[in-house]
Structure 1
Amino acid sequence: MCGIAGIMRFENDQGPTVSMLRKMTHMMQHRGPNHTGIRIIDNQVGLGFTRLSILDLSNGSQPLSNEDQTFWLIFNGEIYNYQSLRIELEGLGHRFQTNTDSEVIVHLYEEYQERCVDKLRGMFAFAIWDRKNKQMFAARDHFGIKPFYYYLDHKKFVFASEIKSIIAVEDINPAVDPKSLLHYLTLQYVPQPATMFRGVSKLEPGHFLKIDSRGRITKQRYWEPSFEAEDRPLETFIEEIRYSLRNSVKLHTQSDVPLGSFLSGGIDSTAIASFLASQRSVKTFSVGFEGEQNENVVARQIAEALGTNHFEELISAQHFFEDTMKAVWHMDEPIADPSAIAVYRLAQLAGEQVTVALSGEGADELFGGYRIYREPHSLKPLSWMPAGVKKRLKQYVGEIPFSFYGKNYIRRALTPLQERFFGNANIFSEDEKRMVLNFHPDLYKNWEPTTEITRAIYEEHKNLDDITRMQLIDLQLWLPGDILMKADKMSMAHSLEVRVPFLDKEVFEIARKIPASLLVAKGTTKYVLRKALEGIVPFPVLDRPKLGFPVPLRKWLQTSIGDIMIEQIENSGIDQWIQIIYVKEMLKQHRRGKVDYSRKIWTIYIFSLWHSLYIQQSSIKRALVN
């Protein structure tokens, strides 16, 4: 795992400098504390690299080239099939100087050009300067496990693993992107390809881009998730899941450094830890919160059953809020997922013992694990009604008293899926956003409902069942925008590489064929996965409900912590965007106990911290370094 950064200057402009590349790499030294490499090529391209040594510890420094230096690579990630690819390339006449997966990529590009990405199995974000064609080629892995950001104007193309490295460039000044703020308030993250920084974009998962020496950019999708259910026996899927997961975990253990596994107490992380523990001795790590929902208790029991060397930490409210500002800085963008702070602490704990940790991200999206995936079944009693009848009835739902049990059920049953499901977070509705947002001309000029973000996915897959369409929304938006972003940024903050065996191409090939009727069955999510894990994971875990990292925000806001959060919001300079008086009123209502506004207040709070760090600072370049 590493950090990459680069600048490409266009014709008739001054070339990149070593000092500029040093600033960019310095901003993400945490991603690669073992080595920094910088190279200026053709007085047009500058490549920077910070290395966290995982494979071939003595070699593997970057930027790295092929034999005649016509292709120069910087690469962040891991390629799990690199050894078989190397054998293939050696048979074609390629010669290698190291034992790294990085060198395989540069030779693969030399041989296959842009189609090299089709052969890769792993997590990656990389850029190759093609001196023959005078173009930059960049690609991001299939699911978006590794980040890739870029900035483009008429003079230059700037890219990096983290946005803070991009805005370290002198003439790139950070500013809020209004449309991104609108979507963030609903989704709790900024959906791709945008970021919260105006002018900075994400390269989407499963995409590559090419940019020539005149600044002309082309972007192409090389892979996208698709589901084609097959009518096969349950036992066949069970065997295939077991085989593919066992194989994926084995591949993900390739490492020349100590390796461990996260263990939350849920079925996903327990599955990974179980397969890992069957192959080697392993260290496991968990965190929990003071109070009833302490996941450490269950994680400890699982670790004992698996025979792992277990480490745990209890997170207090004080520790949680002490870490929040640091986590926001490392995240680059505001991501209002409270569990991100728990992951930050978990990665810190693991990073003290190992350099690589396996984790269970992706299982919910592939195997139907979110509780909301049960909704298409639970809403069936009202689903028979014609669309016109539903629309008319929905007009009267607002008149039902708030205290009426089942009001929300009726409202959701009468609302089409594409209007009610944007992924696993739905913080502020369109009407609520109009209330909490201050009048700002840029906001209303750029107003776009969140349904526009998901509309294309729903339209493309309108013939699929509702559960599968929900999976596709989560795979293309929620997974890369929230889950994988926090996994990467929170772990790399502590120079820890997190690997996610569920998000393997071969595992997905099995998952995409499973009918929705086997994903959610008998009132249970991840039904077929649970069946496949019988006899592999400790029995009590199979029936445990999904909790994630349950953060007691609701309770904390009842204390003085809520007042401290409001004070931060007031002093962050976001009043040009947010009506602070509305946020204060939400806290009052929350403390009366009739409504839970904790996630709404937290979403504003995280935006305020981000704004303080990246926008409000008078000298952002110096402030970021500090």
Structure 2
Amino acid sequence: MCGITGWIDWTMDISNQKDILKNMTDSIQHRGPDAEGFWFSKHAALGHRRLIVIDPEGGLQPMLYKDDHATIALTFNGEIYNYQELRIELEKKGHIFQTKSDTEVLLHAYVEWEEDCVQHLNGIFAFGIWDERRQRLMLGRDHLGVKPLFYAQRGTSILFGSELKVLLAHPSVKAEVDTDGLAELFCLGPVRTPGHAIFKGIHEVRGGHYVLFTSNKAETKQYWKLNSKTHTDDIHTTVETIRSILQDTVQRQLIADRPVVSMLSGGLDSSGLTGLAGNEFKKNKETLHTYSLTFTNEERDFKEDFLRRDRDEPWVKRVVEHVGTKHHSIELGAEKLVENLLIPMRARDLPGVGELETSLYLLFKEMKKDATVALSGESADEVFSGYPWFHQEEFLQAEMFPWGVNSSYITDILSEDLQVKISPFHYQKQRFQEAVREIPFLDGENDVQMKQRQMSYMFITRFLPFMLERKDRTSMMTGFEVRVPFCDYRLVEYLWNVPFEIKSIDNIEKGILRRAFQTVLPDDVCYRKKSAYPSTKDTTYLQGIREWMQHVLNDDTSPILSLINIERVRAIAEGTDEIITDDESKGLIEYLLQINSWLQEYQIQLV
């Protein structure tokens, strides 16, 4: 895992612009604390920050391929999980390799297949390839968009990088946000429109896409998408197919030259992966290390809610005993969560979801002390249709994103000027309808089946990118790599066409996955009801952010004041609002605090 940067200009000689490229690359040093690298030609400058995971000596970047005609240069972030098979295939075609790295395999894959190389890859990746022969830049991103990739065009230059801060470090890119960006920020929150980067004139390469740039045009192509067809496998075959893909995926994702550990919440997803990984470790007479998150006084403070049925820790212990892992429980207090609230915002260069990201960042910070790579159960709920919303009529029939159904109060906290400017309900509806038009519905499905497919599409293409962004930024901020086996595109393709009644077999969410994991988990863990990522219930935390919000409201220089209904937000911060509950107010206050600090720290210009 690494960080990448690049600057291409077809009309200007940028070969002596090392200071600017170094500033861009240094901005993401956290993504690659182990090494840096630069490469320059007359019209191209590539930078790289490296986190060593595979082939410490041979994976140096930017990596070059040279022949009699020209040079091809690559800067790459991610892992190619099928690189060993690809290497064998390429060697049969006459390619000669100098290293054992997946980076060199990707470079030779481009030499062999050019832009079609992405059709041969299984992995999580974001890369930039400058082809001197064609004077062409290719930016490519993995199928689901696990690894980030942003770009901007300024004059005759194309700038790209792993994070927004890379582009903002270039003198031609200003931190400007227009009406469209404000609408994304306040109408959709952190679950933004794919490809939209909030900042004016900055774009994100969507998952499953690549972009080709030449001196006179930019061409975006989708190389992977969900295709609908009738699912013909019986229940037994479906279970065995899921189990087989997951076993293969976990085996591939355990390959590393650095220690690999596993996240473990005691829920189905992380527990199943821990079971599969634990078995692989036992084959080598090794013990898998696992990590969980808990909060100070959690046993005293825990309250069941819509998304969290019970505490994780008892279930974590059950899995640890069954699989035989060496476990580490990381405990966080409310004060630590308040103190670090803004770090995830700085990691993603955009406001996020507060404590749910802060705790993840602090967890990864602790895990980094012992390891470099971890497995995570992220995305199982999206691809297996595991969220409660999938079987509730109110959400299935809503003509809006399901996670926004109960957030209509957002409009009430905006200033009248901003409401007029961004038209919240119209913007939300517009973006929802755009997403609906993309869906490959299947002929012959009834209304309920169509709505379930629609919701599945929304979660895979809209909600999942937000979750993956959260995981990438909070982990890479600590120089830590997190792998997500449930994002293997083969699994996602297969499950897309598995009917909801099969996914929820045995009358329980993700019933088909529970059956697949019965070979590695005890039944009580397999059939534990879903409980979401943990959140602190300590009232000290809520009180801390409420006081912080009141301080912002009382400071005339706070940039957010012109954007909000000050008195309404004051009532929420004081806990006297009659509509918004404590749980709702926590997420709202966190988000507003981050927006205010983001406007200040990034010196955002509203245009």
TM-score, normalised via structure 2 length: 0.89
Aligned partners of 2:518 and 2:280: how far apart in 1? 18
* Cα drift, residue 543 of structure 1: 2.4
1:325-374: CA deviation from partner (whole Å, max 9, x where unpaired): 11211122212264211211121121111100010111111111111111
* Cα drift, residue 99 of structure 1: 0.8
The one-letter amino acid paired with 2:35 is H
The 3 A distance-change label for structure 1 pair 423 and 100 is farther
1:302-331: CA deviation from partner (whole Å, max 9, x where unpaired): 222211111111111111111211121112
Aligned partners of 1:495 and 1:258: how far apart in 2? 14
Answering whether residue 481 of structure 2 is matched by residue 497 of structure 1, we say yes
Moved more, 227-236 or 68-77: 227-236
Partner of 2:136: 135
Aligned partners of 2:550 and 2:352: how far apart in 1? 18
Partner of 1:239: 240
For residues 223-234 of structure 1, the aligned pairs below 5 Å read 223-234=224-235
* Cα drift, residue 118 of structure 1: 0.4
Aligned partners of 2:175 and 2:420: how far apart in 1? 16
Answering whether residue 344 of structure 2 is matched by residue 366 of structure 1, we say no
The one-letter amino acid paired with 2:533 is F
* Cα drift, residue 448 of structure 1: 4.8
Partner of 1:47: 46
Answering whether residue 515 of structure 2 is matched by residue 531 of structure 1, we say yes
Query: 8 Å contact 2:176–2:604 — kept in the other structure?
Result: no
Partner of 1:409: none
Q: Secondary structure at the match of 2:177?
A: coil
Answering whether residue 430 of structure 2 is matched by residue 424 of structure 1, we say no
Moved more, 553-562 or 513-522: 553-562
For residues 491-570 of structure 1, the aligned pairs below 5 Å read 491-521=475-505, 523-552=507-536, 555-556=539-540, 559-568=543-552
Partner of 1:390: none
Aligned partners of 1:320 and 1:488: how far apart in 2? 19
Query: 8 Å contact 2:412–2:565 — kept in the other structure?
Result: no
* Cα drift, residue 208 of structure 1: 0.3
Partner of 1:450: 428
For residues 371-520 of structure 1, the aligned pairs below 5 Å read 371-375=388-392, 379=393, 412=394, 416-417=397-398, 419-420=399-400, 422-426=401-405, 428-429=407-408, 432-433=410-411, 435-440=413-418, 443-444=421-422, 448-461=426-439, 465=449, 466-480=451-465, 482-520=466-504
* Cα drift, residue 541 of structure 1: 2.0
* Poorly superposed stretches of 4+, deviation over 6 Å: 591-594
Aligned partners of 2:162 and 2:16: how far apart in 1? 18
For residues 541-620 of structure 1, the aligned pairs below 5 Å read 541-552=525-536, 555-556=539-540, 559-568=543-552, 571=555, 572-588=558-574, 595-596=581-582, 597-598=584-585, 599-615=587-603
Query: 8 Å contact 2:187–2:424 — kept in the other structure?
Result: no
Q: Secondary structure at the match of 1:159?
A: strand
Query: 8 Å contact 2:262–2:289 — kept in the other structure?
Result: yes
Query: 8 Å contact 2:231–2:499 — kept in the other structure?
Result: yes
Aligned partners of 1:446 and 1:549: how far apart in 2? 29
1:234-284: CA deviation from partner (whole Å, max 9, x where unpaired): 111111111111111000011011110111121111111110001102111
Query: 8 Å contact 2:334–2:538 — kept in the other structure?
Result: no
The one-letter amino acid paired with 2:518 is E
Query: 8 Å contact 1:185–1:428 — kept in the other structure?
Result: no
Aligned partners of 2:12 and 2:28: how far apart in 1? 30
Answering whether residue 32 of structure 2 is matched by residue 32 of structure 1, we say yes
Query: 8 Å contact 1:565–1:605 — kept in the other structure?
Result: yes
The 3 A distance-change label for structure 1 pair 560 and 479 is closer
Partner of 2:295: 289
Aligned partners of 2:239 and 2:337: how far apart in 1? 40
* Cα drift, residue 610 of structure 1: 2.2
Identity in percent: 30
For residues 66-465 of structure 1, the aligned pairs below 5 Å read 66-68=65-67, 70-189=71-190, 190-214=192-216, 216-280=217-281, 281-290=287-296, 291-292=298-299, 293=302, 294-336=311-353, 338-375=355-392, 379=393, 412=394, 416-417=397-398, 419-420=399-400, 422-426=401-405, 428-429=407-408, 432-433=410-411, 435-440=413-418, 443-444=421-422, 448-461=426-439, 465=449
Q: Secondary structure at the match of 1:137?
A: strand
Moved more, 283-292 or 96-105: 283-292
* Cα drift, residue 549 of structure 1: 2.3
Partner of 1:394: none
The 3 A distance-change label for structure 1 pair 350 and 590 is farther
Query: 8 Å contact 1:570–1:580 — kept in the other structure?
Result: no
The one-letter amino acid paired with 2:521 is V
The one-letter amino acid paired with 2:343 is K
* Cα drift, residue 449 of structure 1: 1.6
Aligned partners of 1:155 and 1:15: how far apart in 2? 15
Consecutive unaligned residues in structure 2, runs of 5 or more: 282-286, 303-310
The one-letter amino acid paired with 1:209 is V
TM-score, normalised via structure 1 length: 0.87
The one-letter amino acid paired with 1:610 is W
Query: 8 Å contact 1:16–1:44 — kept in the other structure?
Result: no
CA RMSD in angstroms comes to 2.4
Aligned partners of 2:184 and 2:419: how far apart in 1? 17
Aligned partners of 1:424 and 1:536: how far apart in 2? 32
Query: 8 Å contact 1:424–1:474 — kept in the other structure?
Result: no
Equivalent pairs, count = 575
The 3 A distance-change label for structure 1 pair 344 and 590 is farther
The 3 A distance-change label for structure 1 pair 153 and 616 is closer
The 3 A distance-change label for structure 1 pair 317 and 557 is closer
Moved more, 335-344 or 7-16: 7-16
The one-letter amino acid paired with 1:126 is F
1:550-581: CA deviation from partner (whole Å, max 9, x where unpaired): 32369457534312233246654112322332
The one-letter amino acid paired with 2:597 is L
The one-letter amino acid paired with 1:360 is G
Query: 8 Å contact 2:545–2:590 — kept in the other structure?
Result: no
* Cα drift, residue 156 of structure 1: 1.1
Aligned partners of 2:129 and 2:359: how far apart in 1? 35
Query: 8 Å contact 2:36–2:50 — kept in the other structure?
Result: yes
* Cα drift, residue 488 of structure 1: 0.6
Query: 8 Å contact 1:260–1:354 — kept in the other structure?
Result: yes
1:122-173: CA deviation from partner (whole Å, max 9, x where unpaired): 0000010011111101100000000001111223111100111110111211
Partner of 2:306: none
Partner of 1:57: 56
* Cα drift, residue 438 of structure 1: 4.7
The one-letter amino acid paired with 1:38 is F
The 3 A distance-change label for structure 1 pair 176 and 577 is farther
Moved more, 595-604 or 266-275: 595-604
Aligned partners of 2:326 and 2:404: how far apart in 1? 35
